[in-house]
Copies of this chain bind each other. A is one copy, B any other.
Amino acid sequence: MTLQDAKIGFKDCSDCPIRHRAVCARCETNELELLEKIKYYRSYEAGQTVVWSGDQMDFVASVVTGIAALTQTMEDGRTQMVGLLLPSDFVGRPGRNVAPYDVTATTNLMMCCFRKKPFEEMMQATPHIAQRLLEMTLDELDAAREWMLLLGRKTAREKIASLLMIIARREASLNVSADSDVRVFDLPLTREAMANYLGLTLETVSRQISALRKDGVIMLEGKRHVTVPDFQRLQDETGDDSDGGMLF
């Protein structure tokens, strides 16, 4: 599966969480009809909370547009982002009733939701859905583990570069055409959200972005629009192997 495939998958069937991430070929008509019946859309404004940690969560969903964040917060307010959901990403878990972390809309957000009970029933009836969800969950686990390396061992500069790479790769697959070295994208996160993603303070995030700009690794128009003149150069700043960890 390539990102290109995923994009097509998303565009062609934007309301099926299983089809999302490029499994169109395996979805059959009667399943789609079933999904039609149990689906509904929900919109959230930037900053709104979708579910609170510990709350009942009676639906599963996939992101249609916008960005959502999964966060965990300690009693004294320290918060760590533990998941970043971009369009086509899936959220919620069959077999669990209670959300283990806060889900909040980072930007304006539209999600396609499915009530959990019927969704689970469909899972029982059509085995390949569980297999597909397993695959998606394993991908998420891989991402979480790469994130753990970032949190535990990378410097602030490497963390910023890594985050920019992640966003560049995701957004680039949606926006840009050429496979040239130059990449252009918008930062969909505030400095504070980036800090919560990276386990830093927002001041450190700001300083490191300034440093990368001064060193010519990135260019900024306004606070959000990023141009990467040399993608390899940014890659080198992440501390990751040059093959980008995309080896499976």
Q: Which residues of B contact A133 (CB under 8 A)?
A: 134
Q: Which residues of B contact A83 (CB under 8 A)?
A: 145
Q: Which residues of B contact A222 (CB under 8 A)?
A: none
Q: Which residues of B contact A70 (CB under 8 A)?
A: 145
Q: Are the CB atoms of A96 and B138 closer together than 8 Å?
A: yes
**Closest Cβ–Cβ distance, residue A122 to chain B (whole Å):** 13
Q: Which of A135-168 contact B (CB under 8 A)?
A: 135, 137-138, 140-142, 144-149, 151-153
Residue of B nearest to A95 (CB): B135
Task: Tell me the interface secondary structure of chain A in the complex.
Answer: mixed
Partner of A142 from B95, B100, B145 at Cβ < 8 Å: B100
Q: Which residues of B contact A247 (CB under 8 A)?
A: 54, 98, 100
**Closest Cβ–Cβ distance, residue A96 to chain B (whole Å):** 6
The verdict on A33 contacting chain B, using a C-beta distance below 8 Å, is no
Q: Which residues of B contact A79 (CB under 8 A)?
A: 153
The verdict on A14 contacting chain B, using a C-beta distance below 8 Å, is no
Q: Are the CB atoms of B152 and A199 closer together than 8 Å?
A: yes
**Closest Cβ–Cβ distance, residue A60 to chain B (whole Å):** 12
Q: Which residues of B contact A95 (CB under 8 A)?
A: 134-135, 138
The verdict on A188 contacting chain B, using a C-beta distance below 8 Å, is no
State the CA gap A248–B75 with chains docked (Å): 19
The verdict on A186 contacting chain B, using a C-beta distance below 8 Å, is no
Q: Which of A229-248 contact B (CB under 8 A)?
A: 239-241, 245, 247-248
Partner of A148 from B78, B82, B130, B137 at Cβ < 8 Å: B82
Q: Can you report 25 A-B residue pairs in the complex whose CB atoms are below 8 A from each other?
A: A72-B146, A72-B148, A74-B239, A76-B239, A78-B153, A79-B153, A80-B148, A80-B152, A80-B153, A82-B145, A83-B145, A93-B138, A95-B134, A97-B248, A100-B142, A100-B245, A127-B127, A127-B130, A137-B141, A140-B141, A144-B145, A144-B148, A151-B152, A151-B199, A152-B198
